[in-house]
Chains A and B, each alone.
Chain A
Amino acid sequence: MKDGARGVWRLRLYVAGQSPKSITALANLKRLCESHLAGRYRIEVVDLLNQPHLARRDDIVVVPTLVRQLPVPVRKIIGDLSNEKRVLVALEVLPRDGQE
């Protein structure tokens, strides 16, 4: 089950409808995954307007919120993901010092 070690990155993006921030966040996420995790990522978009009960279950208050489910540990990133480098560091795709 060492899925995350070299395997798939499972990312879940919580949005609220088709707001500009939601659209921007999804676009930013897709772009950075394609450039850094091509072929080994899966994005699930959760629209809280359609599934409001998930906000409580997954402890979401801010949108957009990106949750890295795999690899563990779980990480949370909020905002429209416009700072690509910051997102990559937070996801630990890049090391903390920002060197590629």
Chain B
Amino acid sequence: MTATVRSRKSEPTKRAGNGSRPARHPLAKAPTGIPGLDEITNGGLPRGRPTLVCGGAGCGKTLLAMEFLVRGALDYNEPGVFMSFEESAADLVADARSLGFDLERLSARRQLLLDYVRLERAELTETGEYDLEGLFIRLGHAIDSIGAKRVVLDTIELLFSGLSDAFVLRAELARLFRWLKTKQVTAIVTGERSGEHLTRHGLEEFVSDCVILLDQRVTEQSATRRLRILKYRGSAHGGNEMPFLIDDHGVSVLPITSLGLAHRASTAHVSTGVAGLDGMFAKKGYYRGNSVLASGTAGTGKSSLAVHFAAAACRRGERCLYFAFEESPSQITRNMRSIGIDLEPWIRRGLLRVHAERPTALGLEAHLVAMHRLIDHWQPRVVVVDPVTNLIAVGSEIEVKAMLARLIDFMKLRQITALFTSLTEGGRAAERTDLGVSSLMDVWMLLGNQETNGERNRTIQIVKARGMAHSNQVREFVMTDRGITLVDISRRADGSVAIGAARGAQQQQARVGDPESSRGRRVK
């Protein structure tokens, strides 16, 4: 087996001497079509080889294997044979229906062949020597009859409870896995985890190319499924545990580690939606594909700022997806009408979609999967998450940060500009906010509500903006019936900035022109 690695090392020289030949991949892969799984395996399972998928009872082995076949048939034109040693064909059809897969239809089109092998020791008498040639013939015929490129054996270990001669079985299984390679089918072999061992009968000895471990744990009353690539010969893989979900769309794997920083950095800019605020950035807004964090305590205008951003996108004719984790869509539209922003027309024209849900209704993973799916499906140019802190409430710190990193990368790759609002608890140092979430962000703005001279005044400042010069001033803004307006800066003689009533007094004395102020609507 080390030959794979060796031949890979010597490959460059071979290739150099054989320039006319197409480049030979060290390890061809068969995409599973399962969202996330192909990413963490760098393209899928080893093509033409068996992969072991193991885990305890109810961990999702069968469904993952089934989806591998269904996606293979539907998306990659690779018919598949599902040989089940556990569930009858009728049960498999019913299970798959819950994931939205119609196995009967696939079978009728000869894209799938279900074969249930029933072996009951009580109904068998053994006398003398035997082998599994019948299984080879049966599987071989199934493969040939539909031209299968994929095979699932679920779970072949049950042969050990049906037949007593373990020695013969082990020899035959070794032969079976060698034979599967000669048939050049990409196979998933499932095995049930047993104590310390990956599988009850040591299938991992025979399947050496790729081993995937599934696991289901219950933490804080919610069940979490995890997937881990234990082994992938000749291929880089992250050894981390990835959460995965099984729902009515099938299996989705959420790699919690970052995708890497391979995204293209855009130099195009996107308006913040507030003219005066645009002026605080050298590029008159955010870079396209930026992740923007707007944090502040309750009532500082975070949602209003987010809605300005959303409305500006819609005005440009871009689609905006707004995740509202605190308010219902109607509540948001009502509130925003009071500051002169009418979202209804954008919703009606299909440019704005408000997706409201309480994060606690689902687990964190379920949420992030749902968000990925909506973004993937609807293809917005702009996304608002309001507030991201509500997501943080459902998961542990490290998990949330890792998953958020993943969501941000996912959007960056699609050049989606995203605004996250973040609720800072009062009394906490504002700049120590948000579990270090700010380090994931390209732009961070801090919204405040300062109490001075018996009045509360709203302020906004840019804490950071990667790759872009920006104003260092704390600016006052007001909410009018025509939206957020930044107020002209007014300096006192000592250079400090006067806000609120103090500004009014200051402006009586001297007016200091702000270069950007002409861009904003001025409110008297």
A-to-B contact residues, CB < 8 Å: 14, 16, 19, 21, 24-25, 28, 48-49, 52-53, 55-56, 59-65, 75-83, 86-87, 89-90
| Complex CA–CA separation, A60 to B134 (angstroms) | 6
| Complex CA–CA separation, A62 to B163 (angstroms) | 9
Contact A83 B133 (CB under 8 A): no
Contacting A at CB under 8 A, from B105-126, are 115, 117-119, 123-126
| Complex CA–CA separation, A83 to B135 (angstroms) | 24
On whether A77 and B135 interact (CB within 8 A), knowing A61-B119, A63-B130, the answer reads no
| Complex CA–CA separation, A89 to B126 (angstroms) | 12
Q: B residues within 8 A CB of A77?
A: 124-127
Contact A52 B140 (CB under 8 A): yes
Q: A residues within 8 A CB of B134?
A: 14, 16, 48, 55, 60-63, 65
| Complex CA–CA separation, A47 to B328 (angstroms) | 69
Q: A residues within 8 A CB of B268?
A: none
**Does B129 reach chain A (CB closer than 8 Å)?**
yes
Knowing that A61-B138, A75-B123, A78-B124 touch, tell me 17 more A-B residue pairs with CB under 8 angstroms.
A28-B128, A48-B133, A48-B134, A48-B137, A55-B134, A56-B138, A62-B134, A62-B135, A63-B130, A76-B124, A77-B127, A79-B128, A80-B130, A82-B128, A86-B125, A86-B127, A87-B125
Identify A75's interface contact among B125, B132, B140, B142, CB under 8 A: B125
B-to-A contact residues, CB < 8 Å: 115, 117-119, 123-135, 137-138, 140-142, 145, 159, 163
Contact B128 A76 (CB under 8 A): no
- The chain B residue sitting closest to A65, CB to CB, is B134
Q: B residues within 8 A CB of A19?
A: 133
Interface pairs (15), CB distance under 8 Å: A14-B134, A16-B134, A19-B133, A21-B130, A52-B138, A56-B115, A56-B141, A62-B130, A63-B131, A75-B125, A80-B128, A80-B129, A87-B125, A89-B125, A90-B127
Instruction: State the Cβ distance, A29 to closest chain B Cβ, in Å.
Output: 11
Q: Which has the most chain B C-beta neighbours within 10 Å: A59, A61, A65?
A: A61
| Complex CA–CA separation, A76 to B140 (angstroms) | 23
| Complex CA–CA separation, A85 to B7 (angstroms) | 55
Identify A21's interface contact among B117, B131, B141, CB under 8 A: B131
Q: B residues within 8 A CB of A52?
A: 137-138, 140-141
Contact B141 A78 (CB under 8 A): no
Instruction: State the Cβ distance, B360 to closest chain A Cβ, in Å.
Output: 49
Q: B residues within 8 A CB of A60?
A: 134, 138
Contact B125 A59 (CB under 8 A): no
Contact A53 B141 (CB under 8 A): yes
Q: B residues within 8 A CB of A59?
A: 117-118
Q: A residues within 8 A CB of B135?
A: 55, 61-62
Instruction: State the Cβ distance, A95 to closest chain B Cβ, in Å.
Output: 15
On whether A83 and B127 interact (CB within 8 A), knowing A56-B115, A61-B117, A61-B119, the answer reads yes
Instruction: State the Cβ distance, A56 to closest chain B Cβ, in Å.
Output: 5
Identify B127's interface contact among A61, A63, A79, CB under 8 A: A79
Contact B128 A83 (CB under 8 A): yes
| Complex CA–CA separation, A83 to B130 (angstroms) | 13
- The chain A residue sitting closest to B118, CB to CB, is A59
Contact B133 A16 (CB under 8 A): yes
- The chain B residue sitting closest to A57, CB to CB, is B138
On whether A21 and B129 interact (CB within 8 A), knowing A59-B117, A61-B119, A63-B134, the answer reads yes
Q: A residues within 8 A CB of B159?
A: 61
Instruction: State the Cβ distance, A33 to closest chain B Cβ, in Å.
Output: 15
Instruction: State the Cβ distance, A45 to closest chain B Cβ, in Å.
Output: 14
On whether A79 and B137 interact (CB within 8 A), knowing A59-B117, A61-B117, A61-B119, the answer reads no
- The chain B residue sitting closest to A53, CB to CB, is B141
| Complex CA–CA separation, A14 to B141 (angstroms) | 16
Q: B residues within 8 A CB of A87?
A: 125, 127
On whether A82 and B137 interact (CB within 8 A), knowing A59-B117, A61-B117, A62-B163, the answer reads no
| Complex CA–CA separation, A10 to B118 (angstroms) | 22
